[in-house]
A and B are shown apart, each in its own frame.
Chain A
């Protein structure tokens, strides 16, 4: 199964309390691509990546990661959750959090070894957070917290990454650092799916875009997908965002 795509989703439907939030999603992501998932609020962007990782019960359809179920291949999947999803007052250090990225590779009853510590330090260095290794996580800015999460995902050494709004509420320096890191990962042959909320930058950041609004509106190379019609279909009916769409298209033009 060496040639199986990193992510294949077939007719995926996800419902919360019997109310569908994602309908019949079909998706085949080729390897080594940086894919942006874009859509209005409530479009099911986070739901899609959570369902793809098997974190949510699905109503119908299936997901394959490198040709196998995600339950079998979870070691090849890395995850950067939304920063707000955890309690940053939790009594752990930056190092502890990054080491958690190694936990999945350790067996039952095993503790992180010296190699794991070295690896974690290396990942912290990549996001320029090594000087903060022994800090408690509550003493970090939003951008620094996001970089800690990225370092933890790096420490997972996965091949397919899901990132939930890594650019939300970070400073400009962190944003460019994250983009550089994403490009580096892509150059190393990793596949990345990134939930993104900012239309104007989406065009520049990603190789491929998945336009989502409860179903797949369009999926393909950015230059093909990013046009007025598809964006209007994605954001249709939401007038305030329509002007943003127009602006995004204008910037492109």
Chain B
């Protein structure tokens, strides 16, 4: 890990030089306006200054804050993913609150913010909390959620008392222990970053090495145990890593919100993919991003608490996934719904054209908008819109100033198919399900749009290739659909009304 730290510090140095150059040019250009701005609005200049200070990485505290925040984002994202798929989100919450007394004890050990002492204290407190949950579950009738809630609150209360006591001590008020509540990335020091790098590295290596064990025990613990995997041991390993991740995240995110860094990036990743390895990758990337952005915003606001900013950044990522996720996102789902209903609408129009043609015993070609409007019991404007939609999809052509709709070969085929679906289904319901003939139309109106080719074939077989529906109308067969498409001189203009 020290090697990668070296590499990143080397990269950092290069970036620093580059940014320093850029920023000097920028300063020269802006010197005048910046001076002018100071008279009008002081805070704006400060914001700029802060942003520049952040991006030049001159300040070692900025480097530590940024690096640390990104590291904790990675470990939280990775381990949080397992929490989410194992439905243990509450465990993360309980664990993060339970560590606070341990943090206070670690501080009391030698009255300073020694990362190692705090790490050990917090981990022990976390494990004690987990043990308490287990004990309550085993010895009482209470279920896990209640046990978690109990332990979370009581440990947190003890922690708050201890932190308040420490702050009353003569050296306490300068200790920065209060930063553990809401997080302060700027308080991250060199030794903290080292510890964070070790823990994050450990989490990455363990999860990579034992990926299949983590996967199979998370998905199906009983099967995993039957196949010889020590599910219990793997569970405890995960809990220990989780406790580590929570503890290293404490300083930057704070006890109150650290569980959000576990859950939110993982939840966003869960919405975006349905493969575990991709979820792990995405969750750690999101965690890293949220960590970096949170650290930056906190720094910008002159060291405001970091935790809320990180969590807000992660929540923003989650919001993006929630709304714009390609598969499960709200927008995508809305869009699919919309295109489905548009298709249904087109198919209904095709069906009406077919029925108009059928009403004329397939004499004459195409249907006029007026006929269509009567058939569909809709206004001319509505029907004209539907006809335009058919044309846009290459299912029909319009003639006589758009007053006459002619089906294209594809349009005729689709019209035949939809009418066939409808009538076959009606017949099936009356024959096989023994429904009365006047009960089946509504159902067929819905089913006709979703019947697959395979199902239609099966229906035909079962109905012994019946020719007419329960109302005595002919069911268009495959041959009818084909006949309409027979090549002719005016092929793409002619309607398909010539049924022998």
Contacts and interface: CB of A to CB of B under 8 A. Distances in A.
B472 interface: no
B209 A109 contact: yes
Interface in B271-302: 273-276, 278-279
A75 B228 contact: yes
A114 B289 CA distance: 36
Contacts of A85: 220, 222
Nearest to B209: A109
B312 interface: no
A86 B212 CA distance: 17
Contacts, number: 80
A91 interface: yes
Interface in A204-231: none
Contact of A92 (B87, B213, B275): B275
Contact of B225 (A55, A97, A152): A55
Contacts of A50: 222
B85 A103 contact: no
Contacts of B228: 74-75, 104
Given A53-B226, A91-B273, A103 B87 contact: no
A157 to B, nearest CB: 12
Contacts of B373: none
A81 B222 contact: yes
Q: Which of B209, B213, B220, B225 has most chain A Cβ within 10 Å?
A: B220
A100 B226 contact: no
A79 B275 contact: no
Contact of B212 (A55, A79, A87, A106): A106
B211 to A, nearest CB: 8
- Chain B interface bracket (under 10, 10 to 19, 20 to 34, 35 or more): 20 to 34
Interface in A109-142: 109, 111-112, 136, 138
Given A90-B219, A100-B215, A55 B275 contact: no
Contact of A93 (B85, B87, B222, B275): B275
Interface string B177-218: 000000000000000000000000000000001101101101
B223 A91 contact: no
A103 B215 CA distance: 10
B275 A100 contact: no
A77 interface: yes
A69 to B, nearest CB: 12
A100 B216 contact: yes
A87 to B, nearest CB: 7
Given A92-B215, A111-B212, A156-B227, A86 B220 contact: yes
Contacts of B225: 53-55
Given A79-B227, A91-B85, A156-B227, A103 B216 contact: yes
Contacts of A104: 227-229
A86 B226 contact: no
B107 interface: no
18 contacts: A53-B225, A55-B225, A74-B227, A79-B222, A79-B223, A81-B220, A81-B222, A87-B85, A87-B219, A90-B218, A91-B278, A93-B275, A97-B219, A100-B219, A103-B212, A103-B227, A104-B229, A138-B274
9 closest Cβ contacts across the A-B interface? A104-B227, A136-B274, A79-B226, A74-B228, A91-B274, A53-B226, A86-B220, A100-B216, A91-B276
Given A91-B270, A100-B216, 10 more contacts: A50-B222, A55-B225, A74-B228, A81-B220, A81-B223, A86-B220, A93-B274, A103-B216, A103-B224, A112-B212
Interface of A: 50, 53-55, 74-75, 77, 79, 81, 85-87, 90-93, 96-97, 100-101, 103-104, 106, 108-109, 111-112, 136, 138, 152, 156, 162
Interface of B: 85, 87, 209-210, 212-213, 215-216, 218-220, 222-229, 270, 273-276, 278-279
